[in-house]
Amino acid sequence: MSRSLYGIKGQDAVKAFIRAGGIEKPGKGDHVNIKMPNGMIVTIPGNRELKIGLLKSAIRKAGLSEQEFLDLL
């Protein structure tokens, strides 16, 4: 059974994007910016559960499929 995108915490998402080759940069407040290998910058709020729309948008922007992202968690 594959894991769903619901209930993923910001810090876990940040770690997954870094595993995908992203470079972490500081953002404003608790937000983290991750510069992805495709040149896009993904911004993730660090310390709370992510809403599904924000997460799907970030995954698309990072150039990953939802399954690739879940495999990196």
Give, for all 73 residues of the chain, the pLDDT tens digit: 347 889 999 999 999 999 999 999 988 888 999 999 999 999 999 888 999 999 999 999 999 999 999 999 9
Query: Rounded distance, CA 2 to CA 22, Å?
Result: 24
- The label of the residue with tokens 């709370």 reads 48
Query: Residue 31 — φ and ψ, nearest 5°?
Result: -80, 150
- Model confidence, pTM: 0.91
Torsion angles phi and psi, residue 3, rounded to 5: -75, 150
CA–CA gap between residue 73 and residue 49 (Å, rounded): 14
CA distance 23 to 5: 22
- Structural domains of the chain in order of their starting residue, each with its CATH number: 10-72 (3.30.920.30)
